[in-house]
Structure 1
Amino acid sequence: MPRGKFLNHKGRNRKFTNPEELEEQRKQDEEKRRRKAQQGDVSGSDDEEAAAKGSGSDSDESSSEDEPGKAKGVSGLIEVENPNRVVKKAKKLSTLNETIKDTPKPELSRREREELERQRGAAAYQKLHAAGATEEARSDLARLALVRQQREEAAKRRELEKQTKEAKSKPAAR
């Protein structure tokens, strides 16, 4: 069973620092900086600069903003241009509109080109088919002509049969 009332996710008690202790620590840090500044030995280590930023004094913050951040290691000696680093630049609306107008349309991928060619080919084939210029259209038209002829012959046969039935039924009715 837990020993304390308040436990964090690691199972330990929470420890809070008193505001008085924090204030006292901040004053001690300021005193150290003042002593070093009076001696003429201005510190340039990163740890003490970070402490100065965290202390909250307005004079220290304004002086640290004026000076650029001190580079660590060799990076201060060598200027390296990172091609992947994108520097955001303010763009004017007029130049942005011109660049949009001037940029060519992106080229289609191979699949997109093939799809467009396939669609165009299908449309052209449908047009030729409707005009009766393709082999398939000719065979379809020939088949339709044959079916029409067969239907006409069947209709004539039915008509003859009907007339013969009527002819047979009329003499019987007299």
Structure 2
Amino acid sequence: MKKIAVIVLLILILGTIIWYGGTKMFNRAHSIHSEDMVSQMMIEKYGGTIKNISPDQENYKLTLVKDQILYDIIVNRRTGEVVSFVKQSSPVTNDSRQSESKEPQKGNQPATSADTPITIAKAEELALEKVSGTITSIKLDKEDDQLVYEVDIDQSKTKKAEVIINAYSGKIESITFETDEDN
């Protein structure tokens, strides 16, 4: 009789542990990052100031102002992962510059003089600072009358990224992520 009671007790304890662990995993997988949390993550990662943020079903759409340049960022609401990072074509106007913070900026500082393109090795280094993975190709191309490096990076079997780097300044112009599910 004692053995049966011990077995029942062990089953109850094990069941409780499994239930609690499953509940924690379920809640974590379905939690949504707040706008403030995502804004702070993007400021810490890229510097600058968040001009606006708006949620849709799966993502937050943000506009980041850094060095008087606007960037459109899309962040997954559940994971906090950057889905897209694209430089807007027009610079910040006087009105929007007033809201930008005057704090010192970090990261993405020019890598070389404006007269000489950076090396392929430097472009690879800059890309891998922002996106982890294996570089599968890198090419020099012209985009919007600017010389840029297009760096393709495999992050996993199903996830890839393309990093566009200004070939003269070394600044990251955009980062686009793609998964096999996107195709």
- Shorter-chain TM-score bucket reads under 0.3
**Greater strand fraction, Structure 1 or Structure 2:** 2
**Greater helix fraction, Structure 1 or Structure 2:** 1
**Greater RCO (Cα-Cα under 8 Å, separation 6 or more):** 2
What TM-score results when the alignment is normalised by the length of structure 2?
0.20
